[in-house]
Structure 1
Amino acid sequence: MKIRNRIALQFSLIVATILLVFSVVIYFTTATYSRDDFYDRLKSKALTTARFLIQVNEVDRNLLKIIDRNTLTALYDEKVLVFDENNRLIYASVDDHIIHYQRSLLNEVRQLKEVETWSDDNQLAGILYEEGGRKLVVLASANDRVGRNKQKNLGITLVWGLLGGISVTIGLGIFFAGQSLEPIDDINSQVSTITARNLRLRLDEGDRRDEIDQLAVNFNAVLGRLEQAFEQQRSFVSHASHELRTPLAALKSEIQLGLRRQLKTDEYEAILTNLLSDTDRLIGLTNSLLFLARTLENISQMPLAPVQMEEVVLFARDELLSAKPDYRIEFDYDNIPDSETETTVSGNEELLKRVLLNLMDNACKYSADHTARVRIRTDNRSCWVSVRDQGIGMTPEDAVLIFDPFYRTSNAVGYDGFGIGLSICQRILELHQGQITVESQLNEGSQFTIQLAHL
């Protein structure tokens, strides 16, 4: 079922239920009021008859019958009976009709003083009238034909009104549901035209005031991120192909050189040395690409545990100095933590060590003195680790692009590297809900700072 039909159906059911309850309440409220009003009229008639009979001496029973028959307020099929203390009938307004009653009814009237009941199709009211030491029971009966006709007409009117209201509600529900969902139909039409080849297309965002406009805004934001991801993927493939082609071309050239003519032993050794160097570069590049791809996996697949950042720094320092003894790493605190939890974060120790190892290696590699200065500072929410060098630095334009895969600054071309390390660092910190920033000045050095929420 389409959404517009479902909305129209639900709206119609709600309105139909409200109209039905409203109609039923009106019908039964009116019926109750009409019945109570008719009983009051019967009681008033009974009381008036009793007063005429007892208090007015000039009015005998025959005259009272004439008055009852010709009064303007006479009710349809009206009958009035008056009984004395011994249940003897002392007055009847009509002689040719019988009111069916039981003696128990007279006793009930004497006990309750007022009784409302039915006599066949007529309503019957009984009252106890006390005057001059006498206790008379007066029964008044009549048929509320007018009230029933009115009630019947009211019921017919309510039924037709209910059916008409439901019909109008269904029609208006379908119309307004269609009107309300028309922007969504427009969005569906626009979305169907967007493919991987035209991700630059955007939805109409309207005035950005209602929920549908916000949906278009959010969808455009998703398209923007998707377009950026596609661009990064294309850029990644392009740069990866270029980086892989260089060592492969060198390998091919060395092999062709060795096959072109007979060489001496030392010449073969030189070719094999170059092949080994190019192979190591190719393996290093491949490993970096694989590691970069793995860092894009879901955070749920990465084991997390409490990690002490000082220990990560020390592990990374020892591993780097073991591989490159000519490097120097200086480590200190900007402020002494109040407790060890201020430097404890939730993360993967190996991945965080990879980040610091990369940052320290870059700092030492690009510094003339091969020295990296690592400092830790904390506050009540985060832990910061900064790695500073006094190396070649970079321009503000380069600082914006430095975390893109395969991006290298123009003054770093003479140094070994693939331009993947900082991109890997950024991916790892994103998986840890952290961030990495850079401050740098050309020819004066750079400072990379990572921020992580501590426990």
Structure 2
Amino acid sequence: MKRLSIRWQLTLWYALALAVMLCAFSFLLCLLVWQQVLSRTDNGLREELREIGLEVALTDSATTFASQAAARFSQHDFYEFLVTDVNGNTIFSSSTTVYDMVPKAADSPDGQFQTVPLEGLGPYRIASTRMDSTFGKLNVQVMTSLQPLYNDQASLQWVVALLLPIAVLLAIASGQFLAGRALRQVQQVVDETHAIDISNLDRRIPVSNPDDEIGQLTIALNSLIARLERAINEIRRFTADASHEIRTPLATLRLEAESALRSPRTPEEYQQTLAVVLEETTRLGKLSDQLLNLSRHDAGIIPCQQDPVQLDALLLDVIEQIKPLAEAGSLSLSVNINSHCEILGDDISLSQVFFNLLENAIKYTAAGGEVAVELSCQSDEALIEITDTGIGVAAENLPYLFDRFYQADPSRSSSGGGSGLGLSIARAAVLMHAGSIEIQSQPGEGTRVSVRLPVSSQADPSRSDAPHRLTV
């Protein structure tokens, strides 16, 4: 059935189930009809035994009984009678045809019914019993032919055998019709889905009934299309932003090269031009590295190392690297490490995370401001908080800070040299370490970035290092 359509599969399964039920019903019907007819036959035989028993009770001699029984029972249309004494001598027989074929009453169980096939006559139903009379004990047998019942049963079976295939064929036809009606909405969903391509991802499939299975499938498809639309829009925006970020340094390089070639210049001017070229190529290289890093995170090809990392020592190393930038901005840089903390991870990736966060904090904090780093280690997680007294971020911009190339103040991008990828890279690295990162900020009051990382072990939980405080 794998090659058949769902419509045909439903139809054939429906027809098969119906055929099985009809066969079972027909078998039970024939069985019950036969049992009912046989029960009525036995009741008739029992009634005839009672009638002939009354004749035995009313007579006082075998001769009188034989004459009265012959007058009453010899010409019966349906039943045959045989009465014998205990010695097997026949007292009365309504038919000589079946006399020699019938088993002797003495060999038959008293009060029982049995079916006996008689040669040339077909099956007979025989009721046997023993009676007391004034002229001795008697064996009484009443019998009737079952051939008409067998013929009726065979006719019923033929009717069932003829009607069963017709019923199955009707079931297949009705199943095809009903399955077609049920699956018509599926075909409509398929047609609507085929009509949606990358140029009209804003289009949705109509939902006729959200409570049935097809409605649920349609809702799921609409949700998938919505996610695909968001992904495509993000790719388009990412491509546009990346092109813009790359075009700006390239335009600068071209302008400087054209200016240098336009007219002869002094060595100092050439040196200044080369410095600009070096700065822009460095910016291009950094942007390329960031884009490559993000693409590797997206593809999942950057494995997270599970090496022991001393988080306090790593933060102190990053502080030493960032100190010149803080000194250049006349900022106060303070470090408060409360405990010795060890985690499992990649020290290079984590160093890049904290360097990017500190770089952002210093970049957007005015001269004379303060940037603070605090590490606190608990039994299950390490909390790193980087706080600054910078310009802050408006509430409406906070949800988008981790988006690629997003900048709350685009006018500062060219002057600050930022590409808008630092926070995206930081979040990807933190998530790779099974951690979390969040930002709280108020315009004009500063920003607090909180990074939580799972702790592997604490080398010495009782140890509390003296806070490291740097002012530059």
Is the CA contact 2:312–2:375 (under 8 Å) kept in the aligned structure 1? Answer: no
Is the CA contact 1:65–1:94 (under 8 Å) kept in the aligned structure 2? Answer: no
Partner of residue 281, structure 1: 283
CA distance in 1, matches of 2:175, 2:96: 62
Matches for 1:68-79 after TM superposition, within 5 Å: 68-70=73-75, 74-75=77-78, 78-79=79-80
3-state SS, counterpart of residue 252 of structure 1: helix
1:242 aligns with 2:244: yes
Is the CA contact 1:82–1:136 (under 8 Å) kept in the aligned structure 2? Answer: yes
Q: How many residues align?
A: 436
Letter paired with 2:109 = V
Partner of residue 94, structure 2: 93
Partner of residue 270, structure 1: 272
State the Cα deviation string for residues 278-333 of structure 1 (Å, max 9, x = none): 221111110001111111124xx55467788xx57436523422322355463567
CA distance in 1, matches of 2:454, 2:144: 88
Report the more deviating stretch, 45-54 or 229-238.
45-54
1:190 aligns with 2:210: no
Deviation at 1:64, TM superposition (A): 0.7
Letter paired with 1:94 = S
Partner of residue 203, structure 2: 201
Report the CA distance shift for 1:21/1:434 in structure 2 as closer, same or farther (over 3 A): farther
CA distance in 1, matches of 2:108, 2:305: 86
Letter paired with 1:254 = E
Report the CA distance shift for 1:432/1:211 in structure 2 as closer, same or farther (over 3 A): farther
Report the more deviating stretch, 62-71 or 8-17.
62-71
Deviation at 1:146, TM superposition (A): 4.5
Partner of residue 28, structure 1: 31
CA distance in 2, matches of 1:383, 1:135: 110
1:322 aligns with 2:324: no
Is the CA contact 2:130–2:138 (under 8 Å) kept in the aligned structure 1? Answer: yes
Partner of residue 109, structure 1: 109
CA distance in 2, matches of 1:399, 1:273: 36
Deviation at 1:148, TM superposition (A): 3.4
Partner of residue 392, structure 1: 391
CA distance in 2, matches of 1:233, 1:354: 25
CA distance in 2, matches of 1:377, 1:67: 115
3-state SS, counterpart of residue 109 of structure 1: coil
Report the more deviating stretch, 39-48 or 216-225.
39-48
Report the CA distance shift for 1:231/1:157 in structure 2 as closer, same or farther (over 3 A): same
Is the CA contact 1:129–1:135 (under 8 Å) kept in the aligned structure 2? Answer: yes
Partner of residue 48, structure 2: 45
1:360 aligns with 2:362: no
Q: TM-score, structure 2 length as denominator?
A: 0.79
Report the more deviating stretch, 258-267 or 216-225.
258-267
CA distance in 1, matches of 2:374, 2:227: 34
1:372 aligns with 2:375: no
CA distance in 2, matches of 1:284, 1:127: 112
CA distance in 2, matches of 1:80, 1:351: 109
3-state SS, counterpart of residue 125 of structure 1: strand
State the Cα deviation string for residues 401-439 of structure 1 (Å, max 9, x = none): 322211212274342311011222344456667654332
Report the CA distance shift for 1:81/1:5 in structure 2 as closer, same or farther (over 3 A): same
3-state SS, counterpart of residue 117 of structure 1: strand
CA distance in 1, matches of 2:198, 2:314: 42
Deviation at 1:18, TM superposition (A): 1.1
CA distance in 2, matches of 1:424, 1:430: 10
Is the CA contact 1:12–1:173 (under 8 Å) kept in the aligned structure 2? Answer: yes
Report the CA distance shift for 1:228/1:83 in structure 2 as closer, same or farther (over 3 A): same
3-state SS, counterpart of residue 299 of structure 2: coil
State the Cα deviation string for residues 84-139 of structure 1 (Å, max 9, x = none): 33333333222344351456x743526xx525122222223243314369654333
Report the more deviating stretch, 115-124 or 233-242.
115-124
Is the CA contact 2:42–2:113 (under 8 Å) kept in the aligned structure 1? Answer: no
State the Cα deviation string for residues 5-58 of structure 1 (Å, max 9, x = none): 221221121122112211111111211232233234334434543452355438
Aligned sequence identity (%): 24
Matches for 1:82-231 after TM superposition, within 5 Å: 82-102=83-103, 106-109=106-109, 114-120=112-118, 121-131=122-132, 136-231=138-233
Q: TM-score, structure 1 length as denominator?
A: 0.82
Report the CA distance shift for 1:443/1:80 in structure 2 as closer, same or farther (over 3 A): same
Report the CA distance shift for 1:138/1:60 in structure 2 as closer, same or farther (over 3 A): closer
Report the CA distance shift for 1:131/1:364 in structure 2 as closer, same or farther (over 3 A): farther
RMSD of aligned Cα (Å): 3.5
CA distance in 2, matches of 1:56, 1:205: 91
Report the more deviating stretch, 119-128 or 254-263.
254-263
CA distance in 2, matches of 1:452, 1:168: 68
Report the CA distance shift for 1:96/1:425 in structure 2 as closer, same or farther (over 3 A): same
3-state SS, counterpart of residue 275 of structure 2: helix
Letter paired with 1:325 = K
Partner of residue 407, structure 2: 408
Is the CA contact 2:126–2:144 (under 8 Å) kept in the aligned structure 1? Answer: no
3-state SS, counterpart of residue 44 of structure 2: helix
CA distance in 2, matches of 1:454, 1:385: 12
Deviation at 1:202, TM superposition (A): 0.9
3-state SS, counterpart of residue 393 of structure 1: coil
Partner of residue 439, structure 1: 440
Partner of residue 425, structure 1: 426
